[in-house]
Amino acid sequence: MMRWLVLAMIFALSVLNYADKSVLGLAAEPIMSHLHLNYDQFGLAGSSFFASYAIGSIILGTLTYRFHTKNLLILIASGWTVSLLSAYFVESFIGLIIIRVILGFFEGGTYGLCVAHIAKWFSNETRGSAYAIMTSGTTFGTYLAAPILVLLIGSVGWQHTFAVLGLVSLVWAVVFCFFKSQPNEPIQETIATLPSTQEAQFKDIIKILLNPYVLSVMAIGFVSMWINTWVLTWAPTYLTKIVGLDVQVMSIVFAGMGIAGTIFAIFIGRYTDVLFQKNKSLIKSYDKVLTVVLIIGAIAYGITTVVEAPILSVTFLAVGLIMNTCLLPLGTTIKTLIVPKNLIGSISGISLSITSMAGIIGPYITGYLITLAGDDIRSGFNSGVLIVVALYIISAVIILLTRKRKTTFTKNEKTITPVLVESVK
């Protein structure tokens, strides 16, 4: 029972995490009007968040090797509060950059800390579902929180809305203080030969990160981050200015996409868990599903660039975004199965810092393409979407080329080379 309560708290933190990220995009017009920003500057504000996000993911993620993840999670939630409440002091472009940089640093550690914390409470064969639930919080925060945030922004302004999110983060931190750091008894693994059941030295991190299969999983994270930042920064503008939806309808459409994405991601998480339990093979479970998701996503995003009817634009965009909700939990599960258990938080944090480069360059590139297109804003957005299509296709090819790499772990030498476990007897 306790592990599900812990998962519920991590889910809530994920909701807050992405609500904090998405509020910038939802408040784009009032912020740009208030601070007199152009598209390039606003895109840079979105990118600045992910610059510090990358730094925070390394520093806070690697701290899991020495400190309890519970205490680190409380720390980052408190950091969010400080950053968001500081919105009251923002009256310039530089001020906006500063609070987004602070928020980005503390949010950078969220993913690695949450992944490591859940790994303490759930076994290998159930992590697909657990991580799907955890990452569905990002979908809730991005999409389902939109109607509430839009209402708050319209009624009390963007600065008050930022502050409300900061106070909610503080409440979460206080409540989580009363939870245990880990289970009373270690979890029992039914598949004891996976790398995730072993431990390795901190110096082995470089070997793990340079493994081709781990790099391919990081590529998936890069693509997922690119889409997430596009959604957070530009999707509201795309739906209102290109598709032609008004703000309230846009928020409802956002919510609908979130509900569908959440349900589908949790279903896929459970489905891949069942496949893994049956086949004892990553290739025949998580890899197989991941490749199909990438192909479907690429097709859906590509079609959005050629259709003009609002219903078709929304439908195919929704299909693409729903596929994207599966990338993070699938990639996360694979990573936690091929990485030693004591390095999961560190590897997750470092890999996130690398994949977050997509968050740094993605929003700015899209903003640049829109500006470059001049009055033809649709053309600028379509160019950005075609980049996404290319990333999906490339990622699928990389997974197919690297998925048969194997892992070995020698206790005597205390070295590890992570690879895919094809079959566990």
Rounded CA gap, 43 and 424, in Å? 47
pLDDT of residue 423: 41
List, in sequence order, every residue forming a beta bridge with 409; answer none if it has no partner.
416
Most confidently modeled range among 67-81, 124-138, 330-344, 402-416: 67-81
Instruction: Choose between 1 and 97: higher pLDDT.
Output: 97
- Tell me the two tokens of residue 61: 């993620």
CA distance 411 to 49: 41
Average pLDDT over residues 52-70: 85
Which region holds residue 123: left if phi is over 0, alpha if psi is between -120 and 50, else beta?
beta
Segment 243-255 mean pLDDT: 80
Give the pLDDT score at 183. 80
Task: Tell me the CA distances in angstroms from 228 to 37, 290, 307, 358, 399, one per residue in order.
Answer: 22, 17, 22, 9, 20
Span of 76-85, 168-177, 325-334 with lowest mean pLDDT: 325-334
Lowest mean per-residue pLDDT among 49-63, 294-308, 345-359, 380-394: 345-359
Q: Which band of pLDDT confidence, cut at 50, 70 and 90, is reported for residue 418?
A: very low
- Across 393-414, b (16+ Cβ under 10 Å) vs e yields bebbebbeebbebebebeeeee
The tokens for 200 are: 């390795």
For residue 120, the SS3 value is coil
Helices marked H in 194-246: 205-209, 212-233, 235-237
- For residue 52 the two structure tokens come to 């510090």
Q: What is the pLDDT of residue 424?
A: 40
Distances in Å between the Cα of 391 and the Cα atoms of 161, 248, 265, 370 are 34, 31, 20, 19
The DSSP code sequence of 67-99 is S-HHHHHHHHHHHHHHHHHGGGG--SHHHHHHH
Place of tokens 């503008």: 237
Helices (runs of H) and strands (runs of E) counted in the chain: 18, 2
Is 282 within 8 Å of 334 (Cβ atoms)?
yes
Residue of 251 and 193 predicted with greater confidence: 251
Give residue 405's pLDDT: 58
d(CA 122, CA 131): 10
Q: What is residue 313's predicted lDDT score, i.e. its pLDDT?
A: 85
Of 122 and 420, which is predicted with more confidence? 122
pLDDT score recorded for residue 78: 94
Sign of CA dihedral 24, 30, 169, 77: positive
What pLDDT is recorded for position 191? 55
3 state DSSP class of 416: strand
DSSP state of 64: G
| 217 exposure class (CB count in 10 Å sphere: 0-12, 13-18, 19+) | buried
pLDDT (0 to 100) of residue 68: 87
Per the prediction, the chain carries an average pLDDT of 83
Between 378 and 392, name the one with better pLDDT: 392
Q: Tell which wins on pLDDT, 81 or 417.
A: 81
Q: Does 169 have pLDDT greater than 50? A: yes
pLDDT of residue 5: 93
Query: What's the rounded Cα separation, in Å, for the pair 358 and 47?
Result: 9
pLDDT, tens digit, for every residue of 70-108?
999 999 999 999 999 999 998 889 999 999 999 999 998
**pLDDT (mean) for 387-401:** 90
Q: Is the pLDDT of residue 337 over 70?
A: yes
Given the structure tokens 């996360």, which residue do they identify?
332
Interhelix angle 146-156/2-26, rounded to 10 degrees, is 50
- Closest alpha carbon to 182 in 333, 77, 70: 70
pTM surpassing 0.85?
no
Region 237-249: mean pLDDT is 82
Q: What is the mean pLDDT of residues 15-38?
A: 86
Q: How far apart are CA 345 and CA 208, in angstroms?
A: 13
Residue of higher predicted confidence among 410 and 116 = 116
Q: What was the pLDDT predicted at 195? A: 57
Range of weakest confidence among 220-229, 273-282, 403-412: 403-412
| Model confidence pLDDT, tens digit, residues 191-233 | 555 555 566 777 778 888 888 888 888 888 899 888 877 877 7
425: pLDDT strictly greater than 90: no
Per-residue pLDDT for 385 more than 90?
no
Average pLDDT estimate for 140-144: 72
- pLDDT higher for 374 or 80? 80
Q: 36: left (phi > 0), else alpha (psi -120 to 50), else beta?
A: left
Distance CA 55, CA 40 (A): 23
Instruction: Give the start-to-end residue ranges of the domains of the chain.
Output: 2-179+190-417
CATH class of the domain whose range is 2-179+190-417? mainly alpha
pLDDT score at 156: 92
Residue 319: predicted pLDDT: 93
> What is the pLDDT at residue 46?
77
Q: Which residue has the higher pLDDT, 160 or 239?
A: 160
Gap between the Cα atoms of 240 and 228, Å rounded: 18
